[in-house]
Structure 1
Amino acid sequence: MNEMTDGHIVSSYNKDLNHLHQLVIQIKDLACRQVREAARSLEDEDVELARAVIVSDREIDALDIKADEEIIRLIAKRQPVARDLREIMTVAKIVGDLERIGDQARRLARLTIRFYDGDVITPNRHLLDDLNKMADFVTRMVEDSVNAFDDLDLNRAMDVIRRDSIVSNDFRSALRRLSTFIMEDSRSVGHMVDVVLGLRALERIGGHAKNISRYVVFLVKGKDVRHKDLEAVEAEIISTLK
């Protein structure tokens, strides 16, 4: 837990803020578990696990609503300003991105059901190779971005932002490999379309991790860098150190 609120004059306010932080960690754990299990359901052809991932998304939705309610109550009760308000705004934005990560995990799980539920033609296993690799990579990005928030670790946040370019490159490379595969076996075109949707979902998860890391920059430095490229973000941080 970070120490941004340590020593606040109202100890109950500290308690409320710390509870919000714990909600963020709880939602992150659920979202990352969903992504991992959705990817494993594809790898193991486990339709029941995929269904469990889809159902568990309701837990994240419920926590999303709970976080919103806590934030509204805290603002109404405490009327935070300056640093405290910035922290509450950051929590609200992070929770929103984590909820969307759960949505993307659900989309990935639906591929398992589409590919393996009932009497269907299953895809060539090689079509799925990049899905599992990307799932592992973007899940670690999500974990690192939230840990950066919890520790107020600007270096870790910047590292996650930089890794987003790797996700984009991996996505394009995966598309090229799929195109080559389809040229060799055109019967897999239908499955390829679904795999591309899965890769796109994983790319978006990486994008949400990047968003969370940008919020960390906002929280620590007071600079809104949501719509700036990497070089501009780095320049903003350097300017605040001068």
Structure 2
Amino acid sequence: MNEMTDGHIVSSYNKDLNHLHQLVIEIKDLACKQVREAIQSLEDEDVVAAQRVIVSDREIDALDIKADEEILRLIAKRQPMARDLREIMTIAKIVGDLERIGDQARRLARLTIRFYEGDAPPPNHQLLQDLIRMAAFVNDMVGDAVMAFDELDLDRALDVIRRDGVVSDDFRSALRRLSTFIMEDARSVGHMVDVVLGLRGLERIGGHAKNISRYVVFLVKGKDVRHKDLEAVEAEIAASLR
């Protein structure tokens, strides 16, 4: 095979891989938009907007399927090995986590419908404040995690992994605040259960951002750190910077 043919193959492969990267960015943008709009519908008591979020989840599902098809085609066509195969595996895993973030956004939108559709008394807005704060925080984590992937930035990836601990702390603090609120107004017990489910969904979004960041370590270092604690991941990244 001559150099011109080799170069053509490399150029074509890079084009396919770049397209997969753009798909990851597109799915991330949609998933984060879904989370923002779901929470905004909750703030605005907008059932119609919440319904749009639920319907729009189909766009993420369609892109998820498209990414899977392109990944399978690329593997069959190029038979990648070593770093190339690792990159394709990383993209597949990231897309899976982003699709699940879209699922969580859909569940958040359903809270709006549950709270504001029908004649039942709506929740006190004080109950929703932690949902609003946490949503912005975890959405930033998702954006930074995908940026770490796009730029192969281990420092940014590690920062996202560390922030997952903040999400866990915020979740526990939110539960304490909700408990105090309920003691003052027992009529809100039913709403509290739904809010806790929403908070749990946001905590999971933070977990998906952490997963994406761990995949970045796998891509750059070739080390699977999915089940390692923060200290072990920090040590792995520090070793690469020496």
Residue pair 1:8, 1:14 contacting (<8 A) in 2 also:
no
Alignment size in residue pairs? 236
Aligned to 1:168: 168
CA deviation after TM superposition for structure 1 residue 118, in Å: 2.0
Query: C-alpha separation between the residues in 1 aligned to 2:61 and 2:144?
Result: 22
Per mean C-alpha deviation after superposition, the further-off stretch among 50-59 and 231-240 is 231-240
Change (3 A) 1:129 1:8: farther
Query: C-alpha separation between the residues in 1 aligned to 2:222 and 2:115?
Result: 46
CA deviation after TM superposition for structure 1 residue 200, in Å: 0.3
CA deviation after TM superposition for structure 1 residue 241, in Å: 4.1
Identity, % of aligned positions: 84
Residue pair 1:64, 1:99 contacting (<8 A) in 2 also:
yes
Q: Which amino acid aligns with 1:191?
A: H
CA deviation after TM superposition for structure 1 residue 136, in Å: 0.3
Query: C-alpha separation between the residues in 2 aligned to 1:76 and 1:22?
Result: 20
Per mean C-alpha deviation after superposition, the further-off stretch among 24-33 and 9-18 is 9-18
Query: The residue matched to 2:80 in structure 1 has which SS?
Result: coil
Aligned to 2:56: 56
Would you say 1:92 and 2:92 are equivalent positions?
A: yes
Change (3 A) 1:8 1:125: farther
User: TM-score of the superposition, structure 1-length normalised?
Assistant: 0.96
Query: C-alpha separation between the residues in 2 aligned to 1:236 and 1:128?
Result: 39
Task: Map residues 1-242 of structure 1 onto 2, 5 A cutoff.
Answer: 10-242=10-242
Alignment RMSD: 1.1
Query: The residue matched to 1:10 in structure 2 has which SS?
Result: helix
Aligned to 2:3: none
Query: C-alpha separation between the residues in 1 aligned to 2:240 and 2:172?
Result: 35
CA deviation after TM superposition for structure 1 residue 121, in Å: 1.1
Query: C-alpha separation between the residues in 1 aligned to 2:9 and 2:164?
Result: 39
CA deviation after TM superposition for structure 1 residue 238, in Å: 2.4
Cα deviation 1:181-205 (Å, max 9, x = unaligned)? 0111111000000000000000000
Residue pair 1:50, 1:109 contacting (<8 A) in 2 also:
yes
CA deviation after TM superposition for structure 1 residue 239, in Å: 2.9
CA deviation after TM superposition for structure 1 residue 120, in Å: 1.6
Q: Which amino acid aligns with 2:128?
A: L
Query: C-alpha separation between the residues in 2 aligned to 1:156 and 1:241?
Result: 14
Change (3 A) 1:85 1:211: same
Query: C-alpha separation between the residues in 2 aligned to 1:235 and 1:97?
Result: 25
Q: Which amino acid aligns with 1:114?
A: R
Q: Which amino acid aligns with 2:69?
A: E
CA deviation after TM superposition for structure 1 residue 146, in Å: 0.3
Query: C-alpha separation between the residues in 2 aligned to 1:9 and 1:162?
Result: 40
Cα deviation 1:140-192 (Å, max 9, x = unaligned)? 00000001100111111110000000000000000000000011111100000
> What are the ranges of 5 or more consecutive residues in structure 1 without an aligned counterpart?
1-6
